[in-house]
Structure 1
Amino acid sequence: MKLVLQGPSLEPTLIASLISGINVTNYHQPRQNVWHINGVPEDQYDIIASFANENKADFALINTSQKLSDYKLVAMDMDSTFIQIECIDEIADYCGVKEQVAAITAASMRGELDFNESLLQRVALLEGLEESALQAVYDERLKLSTGAEEMLQALQKANIKTLLVSGGFTFFTDRLKQKYHLDFTRANELEIVDGKLTGRIIGEIVNAEVKARTLIDCCNKSGISLTETIAIGDGANDLKMMALAGLSVAHHAKPKVKQHAKVAFDYSGMDGVLNLF
C-alpha cells in the first residue's frame, strides 16, 4: 500500500522528520505539498494520523498499483462539494428564512432527518419567492470549491466522464453542466408558476437511493463498471452512492460520511483526488 500525504504546510523538512521517525526509505514528492510513501508498517499508522492532524494534512492509503486511468467516471455531489455553498440556504436568505433553512440542511446532512421530509419542509418555506432570486444566487454567491476546476480539467483530459448528482436543484446543475461541460447531471426541479416558486418539487426527489441509482444508470449507459468509478460527497445523502463506487472520497464532510469513506479530505481541495495517483 502507498501512503499519500497532502496539505499546504507539508514542507520537505517536516516530511524528513516524519520519515526518520517511522523508518521508511521509499518515498517521493510527485507534486508540491504532496508526498507518496511506500512500505509504511501498520504499527506506524497512529503516528501518521497524529502527524497529519498536527500539520493540517490529509492522509490516505491507496493500492500502489492504482492509477487515475483505472477510473472512467467521477460522480460528485454539488452543494458544499463541487461548489462552496448550500444553494437552498442562500435562496432562503432572499425570503428571510436562511437561519431556519440552514439548520434543517445541516441536520439532514448529518443524517439526523429524513431527507425527503427535510427537503419538502425547506422548499415549502420558499413559497412566493421570485424566480429571479435563483439567478442572483447563481451569479453572486455560487463559487466552485477549491481545486474543482483543476480536477475537472484533468478528468476531461483523461477522457473520464463526470456526473453531478444533487439533492439540490436543476436550476444550478443545468447551468454548471453547460459551463463546465459535464457529462451527466441529476437534481430536483423546483416548481415555478408565473415567475414565482410554489414551494413544491416536481417529480421524484433526488435522495440517497436516487443518487445511487443515477450512478448505476450512468455506468450502464457508458459501459462502465461501478469499480471504475469515484464518488465524492459530504453528506449522509451521498453515502449509498459512495458505497457503490470503486473509490469513495469524503470532501470536508460530516463525521458519519468520513467514517464510511475510503478517503477523507479535511484540508485538501477537490484536486486532492488527482494527488492520490
Structure 2
Amino acid sequence: MKHALVFVASPDDKPAYREALLMLGRVALSRKLPPPDVLSGWESAQWIYDSVDGELRQEAAAAVAELPVDWALTPVAGRKKKLLVADMDSTIINVECLDELADFAGIKAEIAAITERAMRGDLEFEPALRERVAKLKGLATEALQKTYDERVRLNPGAATLVKTMAANGARCVLVSGGFTFFTERVAEAAGFHASRANTLLEDATALTGLVQEPILGRAAKLDALRSEARALGVSEQDALAIGDGANDLDMIKAAGFGIAYHAKPLVAAEADAKIDHMSLEAALFFQGYRRGEFVS
C-alpha cells in the first residue's frame, strides 16, 4: 500500500524547511526514492512510498524531532477525506469558552483547573462539566455574548481547513463538549455545515447552573462521527477527526485519519498525526492538498 510522508514548515522559517527537507530526504534516499514532490514552496513537501515497514515512522520522527515542523505518514488511498469532525475549544478556536465565562464570574482559575484535569483524562468529562456549570449559577446571560465578542477567535487556518474540505465535497461538522451558544456562531464563522454541542440552561436573565441532559461528551463525539459517516454513506475510514482533549480521543482513534492539535499527551500519543507547530492548514497538506487548492 502506498503511503505519503509529508512535512509542513513555516514559510517564514526557511532554515527549518531546508533542514527538514534534508533530514527526511535522507530517510527517503535510504529507500531509493526520487526527489520530493513540493506541495508548497518553502512550506510543505512529500515523498510517496510504495510500501512501508515498521521502522519508517520511527525514523521520520527521529529525523525531525528537534525541528519546528509537523509531519505525517498516511496511506495515499482515500487520503482526501469526505468527512471532517472537529472539536471546538482550543482546536477550532483559541480558548476554552467555559473558562472564559468563568472569568466574568471571577472564578476562572478555579474552573480552568478542573478543565485542565478533564482534558488530560484525569476526570470524567460529564461530572466535571456539571460541576463547572453549577459554579456559574446566577451569572448574567449577557456574559455569553461578551465572551464570544471579546475572547473567541478562530485559530489560524481553521476557516481555510473547513472551507477547502467543503469545496472539495467533504461534510464538515463541529462537535463540542461546550455550548450551542458558541458552536452555532463558530460553525457559521468557519464554514461548517453543522454543529453539535451541549445547551446551557438559563432563565430570563441568568444561568441556572444546569446543562441540558444528556451531556455530549466523549462517547457522544464518537457517536457523532459514526452517525455522520452513516448519513453520508461512507466509512469511518473516510473521516478526519481533530481535537486536543481526552474527550476527543475516541473519535480521533476511530477516524481514518485522527489528528491531535496542540493536544494533551494522552491524545497526542494515540493520534495518527500531530500538529504542534503549524496552523490548522497542516491538516490539508497531510491530505495531499497543494497550496494552490486552498480556499480562504
TM-score (norm 2): 0.87
Moved more, 85-94 or 256-265: 256-265
Alignment of 1:67 with 2:90, yes or no, is no
Query: Relative to structure 1, is the Cα distance of residues 35 and 224 closer, same or farther in structure 2, using a 3 angstrom cutoff?
Result: same
Moved more, 212-221 or 101-110: 212-221
- Determine the structure 2 residue equivalent to 1:211: 221
What are the Cα deviations for residues 41-78 of structure 1, in whole angstroms up to 9, with x where unaligned?
Answer: 7656545323423111112111233431xx21100000
Query: Relative to structure 1, is the Cα distance of residues 216 and 126 closer, same or farther in structure 2, using a 3 angstrom cutoff?
Result: same
What are the Cα deviations for residues 220-275 of structure 1, in whole angstroms up to 9, with x where unaligned?
Answer: 22323212111111111011112221111111101110111111111121111110
- Determine the structure 2 residue equivalent to 1:122: 132
- Given residue 45 of structure 2, which amino acid in structure 1 is its aligned partner? W
Alignment of 1:191 with 2:201, yes or no, is yes
Alignment of 1:102 with 2:104, yes or no, is no
Alignment of 1:17 with 2:22, yes or no, is yes
- Structure 2: stretches of 5+ with no match in the other structure: 289-296
Moved more, 122-131 or 57-66: 57-66
- Given residue 209 of structure 1, which amino acid in structure 2 is its aligned partner? A
- Given residue 13 of structure 1, which amino acid in structure 2 is its aligned partner? R
**2:243–2:263: 8 Å Cα contact kept in structure 1?**
yes
Q: Displacement of 1:10 after TM fit?
A: 5.2
What are the Cα deviations for residues 130-186 of structure 1, in whole angstroms up to 9, with x where unaligned?
Answer: 111110111111011111011112112112111101000000011123334422211
- Determine the structure 2 residue equivalent to 1:227: 237
**2:154–2:190: 8 Å Cα contact kept in structure 1?**
no
- Determine the structure 1 residue equivalent to 2:9: 7
Partners of 1:185 and 1:85 in 2: CA distance: 18
Alignment of 1:53 with 2:65, yes or no, is yes
- Structure 1: stretches of 5+ with no match in the other structure: none
Aligned match for 1:78, one of 84, 88, 95:
88
- Determine the structure 2 residue equivalent to 1:34: 44
- % of aligned pairs identical? 34
Task: Indicate the SS of the match to 1:270.
Answer: coil
Query: Relative to structure 1, is the Cα distance of residues 109 and 17 closer, same or farther in structure 2, using a 3 angstrom cutoff?
Result: same
Q: Displacement of 1:204 after TM fit?
A: 1.1
**1:74–1:230: 8 Å Cα contact kept in structure 2?**
yes
Partners of 1:237 and 1:17 in 2: CA distance: 37
- Given residue 134 of structure 1, which amino acid in structure 2 is its aligned partner? L
State the superposition RMSD in angstroms. 1.9
Partners of 2:282 and 2:44 in 1: CA distance: 9
**2:82–2:170: 8 Å Cα contact kept in structure 1?**
yes
Task: Indicate the SS of the match to 2:147.
Answer: helix
Q: Displacement of 1:110 after TM fit?
A: 0.4
- Given residue 222 of structure 1, which amino acid in structure 2 is its aligned partner? L
**1:76–1:233: 8 Å Cα contact kept in structure 2?**
yes
Query: Relative to structure 1, is the Cα distance of residues 93 and 30 closer, same or farther in structure 2, using a 3 angstrom cutoff?
Result: same
**1:184–1:218: 8 Å Cα contact kept in structure 2?**
no
Q: Displacement of 1:87 after TM fit?
A: 0.3
Moved more, 134-143 or 55-64: 55-64
